[in-house]
Amino acid sequence: MIRATCAAVPFLFLLLSLAAPGVTAETGKITKEAPADAEAPKYSKQPPLVGAYYFNWYDIEQQWRRYPRAHDPKLGEYDLAKGDTIIDQHHAWAKEAGIDFFAMLWTGAGSQLVQWARADELDSRVADHLAVKDGVKTALVYNLRDVVSTSHHGAIDLSDKDNCQIFHEHITYAARTHFTHDNYVKINGSPVLVLHTMRDYVNYKECLRLTFEQVEEDIGTYPYIIGDAVWWSPGSDKMPWNDYKHVNVSAITAFNLVDHSQPSKMGPSFAWYGSQLYHDVIKGALPAGIQVVPMVMPGYDDTKLRGASQTEIPRAGGAEFVHQWKQMLWFVKCQPLVQGAFNRAKPLIGQFSKKRGGMTKHQTIVMVNSFNEWHEGTEIEPSTEFGTQFLGLLSALKAEIPNEQLSCGKEKDAKFKAAKYDVPRWLLKGEATPTDRVFLAALHPFLWLFVVALIWV
C-alpha cells in the first residue's frame, strides 16, 4: 500500500502541474499563458562564474621544445617553476578578463601506486597558485586517464581494484591538501572538482560513492562534481543520468568538443553544432537536477602539433569566440529559470528522493578552453599575434550579460524543432497568483481523498 502511495505522488504532481495556470518554457521561447496583466518570468540576474582551463606543465620535461604550437606567448617560453612572477601575471590578467577561477589539469598525488615525477610537480604548482594573494581562485580537473590503464576502447574501469584505489587516494589527498584552502573555489561551501573524460568511466558507481563519502567525512562537505561527460555520442536519452545521480554529480560539461573525425561539424560551423549538442543534453539533465556547464573557445589550431590535415577552427578576428559566447547565453540567462522551476517541484516528492543533502543548489558556470593551452591553439593568454585581444573580449562579453536580450531560445535543430519544458507558472516564478491559490486550495481536498483511497485499497 505504501509503495502504491509513493508511486502516486509524481502522478499527483502531474495533475497539479497540468491543471494549474502556467507557462511553457522551451529552448525556443517562453510563452505566457497567464492573463495579459500577469508579470512575465524574469531572467536570472546572477552573473556566471567564469572558469578557464589552465595548464601547469610549462616547462616540465621541456614542454615548449617537444610540442609545437600555433602562436607564441607574450611572456616567451616561460617556466612556472622559476619564481612567482609568471604566476602572478597570469592571475592579474585573469582578474582583468573577468575570470573567477583557473581549472587546473591535475594527475593526482598521494598514492603509492603511482610514482610519477611530472604528477608531483604539477601538484606542487597547484599549491603555488593557491598561495597567490588577490588572485583568482583554483579548482582541480582530475585527469585519471594519464595514470591508469584503459581498455582498447579507451574505457576507464573503476571496478579494477588498483584503478579505484588510485582514484580514492588521489581524491582524498586533494581533499586534505587543497579543497579546504581559502583560495579553492567552492559553490555553497562545496569544493568544485571536474572529472576529466568522465564519459569514459565504467563500473564507477561504488568506487566514486565511497570516495566522495570519505571526502565528506574528512572535510565536512561533499564536493561539487562537474563531469566532463558531454560528447557527440551517445545522445541525451542514452546518457547514464541515474548513475550520475547515484554519485551526486552536480553538473556536466565538455572539456573539449573538437572531433577531427567529424570535419563537417568543425570549422565555421562549430559554434552552432556545439550549441545544438548542449541543448540536446539539457533535455536529460534538467529532470535529473544536473546543471549543464557550457564551454567556449577562441578557436582551435593543432596543425603544428598533429599535422596540416587536422581541421582548424579559425579565430576569425575574434568572431568565433563571440559567436560561441552568444550561443551559450541561454544557459546563463534561462537555465537557472527553468532549473529553478524543477527544483521548486522537488519538495512535493522530495521525501522519496535519495539525493544526498536534498536539492542541488547551482551556480551558473561558463568554462573557457583555455587560458594557456598553447599546443592546441586555444589560449586567450596574451600572445605576440593577438596581444590582449581575447582577454578584453572576455571582459566585455561578461560585463554585457545583464544587458543581453533574448527570448530564452535556441536555433532549431535539423528538423526545426526545439525541446519544450511544461512548467507551471507558480513554480517558474516561485510564487502563486490569487487564481493559482484558489485553484490549489480547491484541489487539495480532492488529492487527499485520492491518497486515502489508494491507502484503503
**What string of pLDDT tens digits covers the 457 residues of the chain?**
444 444 444 444 444 444 444 434 443 333 333 333 333 345 556 689 999 999 999 999 999 999 999 999 999 999 999 878 999 999 999 999 999 999 999 999 999 999 888 899 999 999 999 999 999 999 999 999 999 988 878 899 999 999 999 999 999 999 999 999 999 999 999 999 999 999 999 999 999 999 999 999 999 999 999 999 999 999 899 999 999 999 999 999 999 999 999 999 998 889 999 999 998 999 899 889 899 999 999 999 999 999 988 889 999 999 999 999 998 988 998 888 777 766 666 655 443 334 444 445 678 999 999 999 999 999 999 999 999 999 999 999 999 998 887 766 444 444 444 444 444 454 445 555 666 666 667 776 777 777 677 667 6
Q: Are strands 101-106 and 49-54 parallel, antiparallel or unpaired?
A: parallel
120 burial via Cβ count (<10 Å: 0-12, 13-18, 19+): middle
The DSSP code sequence of 397-430 is HHHHGGG----S-----TTS---EEEEEHHHHSS
Whether residue 266 contacts residue 311, with contact meaning beta carbons closer than 8 Å, is answered with yes
Whether residue 275 contacts residue 410, with contact meaning beta carbons closer than 8 Å, is answered with yes
Q: Within a 13 Å sphere around the CA of 155, how many CA atoms are in the beta-carbon half?
A: 10
**Residue 251 to residue 369: CA distance in whole angstroms:** 17
Whether residue 105 contacts residue 196, with contact meaning beta carbons closer than 8 Å, is answered with yes
